[in-house]
Amino acid sequence: MKRPLRVSSALLLAALLVTACATAPPGPPPPSAPAGESEPKPAPAAPTERPTYIVKADKTQLRDDPTTKAAVLARLSKNTRVTGMKEKDGWVFVRLEDNRVGWIRADLLRREAP
């Protein structure tokens, strides 16, 4: 009868060891803010509004580069609305409503009021 008792004791000891090794002690609690103080929340990023331009001249050319020698990508009619992306040396890089992009001389555009 002693033999089954040893097996039961060995199984109990093994079960205790597995349980003790499988559960880790809890980590330290997170630091708490002093009473009445809370962490400041970052301000939400403002959406980047891109300026809208209206083509002032008839048959304005959308170009591949900011120079009159660059390839013409499209010809735009007067009052065509475009979105300005950036400006460089008197030219505006624009996006058309159909998502084509290119350069137009700034003096051929009128910035639309926001």
Domain ranges of the chain: 52-111
For residues 80 and 55, the answer to whether their CB atoms sit within 8 Å is: yes
Q: Say which DSSP state 35 is in.
A: T
Q: Say which DSSP state 5 is in.
A: H
CA–CA separation, 72 and 90 (whole Å): 17
User: What single letter denotes the amino acid at residue 68?
Assistant: T
For position 3, what pLDDT does the model report?
Answer: 55
Q: What is the phi/psi pair of residue 50, to 5°?
A: -100, 140
For position 114, what pLDDT does the model report?
Answer: 73
CA–CA separation, 56 and 78 (whole Å): 5
pLDDT digits 0-9 by tens, 16-56: 666 665 566 677 777 766 665 566 666 665 556 889 999 99
Exposed / middle / buried, residue 25 (Cβ in 10 Å: 0-12, 13-18, 19+)? exposed
Q: What's the whole-model pTM score?
A: 0.58
Residue 114: strand, helix, or coil: coil
Identify the architecture of domain 52-111 in CATH: Roll (2.30)
For position 29, what pLDDT does the model report?
Answer: 75
Residues above pLDDT 90, as percent of the chain: 52
